[in-house]
């Protein structure tokens, strides 16, 4: 086991980085759980102190109330700051949580100078089990916390009690380090397995949803998303566009099927760029489309494409976007391929379109009009026609 893999509990840094989302999620969850527990403990201690039961120090009641308030405020901060689970944000929450706990344990120990510290030892063990980062950072954190505790112990307590704290600290810190590595290595194994399963699911989602040649949605997934949208009440401005490449058979016959595939690929990319789509996370594309109400394209098969256009407000905006796509296709220069011509048929979707069939029929009629009028142009078909 190399030093780098030892630092990441038996795995290399690249694998640990792949699991960062799971690590952040786990750390955030544990921060919240520990603070809820910390709040309950301090509330109970304040009650026991007020009632003078269970030998809880009455002089510490104010301290318990203060830390109960601190833990409640910190819980609220965790819920707000941790909504976006970036590594930096979660790391800050974890460090803040550790500082609060260690300060509390040290202060409790100093307020009872004639007793050996037990709370600090318990908290070191609990914290080592709760949070996962790297072994190097964990060791550094444990050393710093222990140094602060020992300094306060030898400053406030008698030598005999401070020495007992030192002895207990050595035992508990050693145990914490060993158990931290063993426990977090097991957790990393679970993360790696889960991450691989997630990756497999994502790959299956991509294969079942996207056309391999163009990276556009395949026919089935496109119609599934469109039907989902149209089946619900809708009054936003939307449109549907069919695109058919002109004289595509001649490209295949004269330049070969390889160039034909290239033309289809270029057309797909022109559509993606024209709609300003981000396909870096294809597995979440459907959810993103529905959430953000954005446009999405699909490939029907062969040289036929379909676009579901949203967020463009009016016909002029739709026409401008489609003209830019057509202009991009017309300016293509690849080998012997000098420009790609295409016919576009568009229809606006109305609140009465409860399924995709009627809109698709109108777009297909508009496409036919575009072909009949000379090709390489855009034609609209109104719902009333």
* Helices 87-111 and 119-130, packing angle to 10 deg: 170
Among 175, 181, 171, 179, which Cα is nearest to 116's? 171
Residue 27 · residue 94 · CB < 8 Å: yes
In a domain, 377, yes or no: yes
* Helices 248-255 and 257-274, packing angle to 10 deg: 140
User: Mind listing the pLDDT tens digit of every residue in the chain (385 residues)?
Assistant: 676 688 989 888 888 888 998 999 999 999 999 999 999 999 998 898 888 787 776 667 888 899 999 999 988 888 887 667 788 888 989 999 999 999 999 998 888 888 889 989 999 999 998 999 999 999 999 999 999 999 999 999 999 999 999 999 999 999 999 999 999 999 999 999 999 998 999 999 999 999 999 999 999 999 999 999 998 888 889 999 999 999 888 888 888 889 889 999 999 999 999 999 988 889 889 889 988 889 999 999 999 999 999 988 899 999 999 999 999 999 988 888 888 999 999 999 988 888 889 899 999 999 999 999 999 999 999 876 4
Residues 28 and 172 in one domain: yes
The domain boundary, picked from 172, 205, 238, lies at 205
For residue 89 the two structure tokens come to: 């944000």
DSSP label at residue 83: T
Residue 189 · residue 138 · CB < 8 Å: no
Among 103, 119, 201, which Cα is nearest to 152's? 103
In a domain, 214, yes or no: no
Residues 190 and 120 in one domain: yes
Q: Which domain holds residue 119?
A: 3-205
In a domain, 92, yes or no: yes
The domain boundary, picked from 154, 180, 205, lies at 205
The whole-angstrom separation of Cα 321 and Cα 243 is: 13
**Which pLDDT value is given to residue 3?**
66
**Which pLDDT value is given to residue 1?**
61
Residues 285 and 229 in one domain: yes
Residues 45 and 155 in one domain: yes
In a domain, 213, yes or no: no
Residues 62 and 188 in one domain: yes
What does the buried/exposed string (b/e) look like for 277-294 if buried means 16 or more CB atoms within 10 Å of the residue's CB?
beeeebbebbeebeeeeb
Residues 184 and 280 in one domain: no
In a domain, 277, yes or no: yes
The whole-angstrom separation of Cα 330 and Cα 293 is: 29
**Which pLDDT value is given to residue 313?**
84
Residues 140 and 250 in one domain: no
Number of domains, the chain: 2
Among 329, 326, 360, 330, which Cα is nearest to 346's? 360
Question: The domain that contains 298 carries what CATH number?
Answer: 3.30.70.270
In a domain, 212, yes or no: no
The domain boundary, picked from 171, 205, 239, lies at 205
Residues 83 and 19 in one domain: yes
Residues 320 and 259 in one domain: yes
In a domain, 211, yes or no: no
In a domain, 297, yes or no: yes
**Which pLDDT value is given to residue 204?**
92
Residues 244 and 333 in one domain: yes
The whole-angstrom separation of Cα 84 and Cα 219 is: 34
Residues 175 and 233 in one domain: no
**Which pLDDT value is given to residue 141?**
92
Residues 289 and 362 in one domain: yes
Residue 299 · residue 307 · CB < 8 Å: no
């Amino acid at each position: 086991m190399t030093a780098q893999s030892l630092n990441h509990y038996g795995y290399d840094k690249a694998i640990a980085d792949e699991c960062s989302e799971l690590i952040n999620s786990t750390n955030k969850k544990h921060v919240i759980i520990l603070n809820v527990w910390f709040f309950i403990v301090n509330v109970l201690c304040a009650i026991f102190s007020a009632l003078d039961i269970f030998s809880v120090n009455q002089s510490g009641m104010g301290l318990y109330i203060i830390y109960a308030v601190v833990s409640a405020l910190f819980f609220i901060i965790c819920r707000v700051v941790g909504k976006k689970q970036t590594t930096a944000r979660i790391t800050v929450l974890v460090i803040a949580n550790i500082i609060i706990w260690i300060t509390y344990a040290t202060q409790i120990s100093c307020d009872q100078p004639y007793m050996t510290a037990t709370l600090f030892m318990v908290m070191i063990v609990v914290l080592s089990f709760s949070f996962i980062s790297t072994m190097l950072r964990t060791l550094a954190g444990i050393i710093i916390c222990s140094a602060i505790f020992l300094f306060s112990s030898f400053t406030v307590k008698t030598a005999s009690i401070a020495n007992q704290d030192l002895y207990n600290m050595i035992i508990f810190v050693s145990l914490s380090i060993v158990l931290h590595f063993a426990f977090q290595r097991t957790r990393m194994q679970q993360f790696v397995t889960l991450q691989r399963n997630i990756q497999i699911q994502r790959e299956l989602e991509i294969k079942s949803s996207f056309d391999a040649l163009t990276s556009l949605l395949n026919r089935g997934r496109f119609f599934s998303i469109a039907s989902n949208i149209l089946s619900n009440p809708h009054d936003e401005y939307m449109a549907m566009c069919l695109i058919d490449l002109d004289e595509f058979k001649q490209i295949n016959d004269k330049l070969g099927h390889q160039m034909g595939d290239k033309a289809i690929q270029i057309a797909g990319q022109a559509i993606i760029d024209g709609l300003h789509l981000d396909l870096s996370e294809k597995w979440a594309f459907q959810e993103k489309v529905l959430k953000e109400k954005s446009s999405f394209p699909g490939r029907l098969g062969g040289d036929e494409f379909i676009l579901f256009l949203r967020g463009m407000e009016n016909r002029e905006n739709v026409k401008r976007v489609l003209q830019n796509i057509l202009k991009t296709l017309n300016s293509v220069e690849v080998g012997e391929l000098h420009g790609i011509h295409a016919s576009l048929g568009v229809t606006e979707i109305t609140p009465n379109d409860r399924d995709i069939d009627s809109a698709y029929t109108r777009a297909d009629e508009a496409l036919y009009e575009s072909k009949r009028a000379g090709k390489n142009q855009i034609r609209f078909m109104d719902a009333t026609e």
